[in-house]
Amino acid sequence: MPTWAIVLLIILAVVLVLFVVLAIYGRKLQKKQETAQADIRAGAQTFSILVIDKKRMKMKEAGFPKVVLDQTPKYLRGAKVPVVKAKIGPRVMSLICDEKVFDLIPVKKEVKAVMNGIYIIDVKGLRGALESKPAKKGFFAKMKDKVKKN
């Protein structure tokens, strides 16, 4: 057997072993995330909030309490997170929002938010349904529309 074939088999075996290891590790991380989500949902409460502003910003710049910054890992402190500044009762607070919900939150409107601490999990319209933005079209979908028009 030629040496290049042996080298190719060794490389193939290493890639296969890496794939199996990553699949097992990915499954563990997925289970861990599902349990964390279940814990977050278990302690959630519904509040009526008035959204003042929303934007993606670094955690250091968002004005969170020192306790929150101390609990976050150092590599995530510089990452941009979706932040919502809202009035809950008489207090104005900075809240962290779930990525899936961030686009649904209207600015300068009152909504019912399902929250756990300072983390917004879900929102519902207080008066009527929330407006969802249309999904972005991909490159090929845009090209199909152009072809159909012509």
**The pLDDT of residue 68:** 86
- Same domain membership, residue 83 and residue 118: yes
CA dihedral 21, 24, 29, 30 (to 10 degrees): 140
What Å distances lie between residue 68 and 64, 94, 119, 121, 143, CA to CA? 6, 11, 11, 17, 46
What does the pLDDT read at residue 136?
80
Residues 6+ away with beta carbon under 8 Å from 105: 51, 54, 84, 97, 111, 120, 123, 130
Domain residues for 4? 1-42
One domain, residues 97 and 35: no
Question: What pLDDT score was predicted for residue 14?
Answer: 97
* Structure confidence by residue, pLDDT tens digits, 71-109: 888 888 888 999 999 999 899 999 999 888 998 898 898
pTM: 0.69
* Closest of 72, 47, 55 to residue 124, by C-alpha: 47
In the chain, which stretches have pLDDT less than 70? 128, 132-134
Q: What pLDDT score does 88 carry? A: 92
Q: Is residue 137 part of a domain?
A: no
The answer to whether the beta carbons of residues 65 and 91 sit under 8 Å apart is no
Shared domain for 57 and 115, answered yes or no, is yes
* 112 plus 82 within the same structural domain: yes
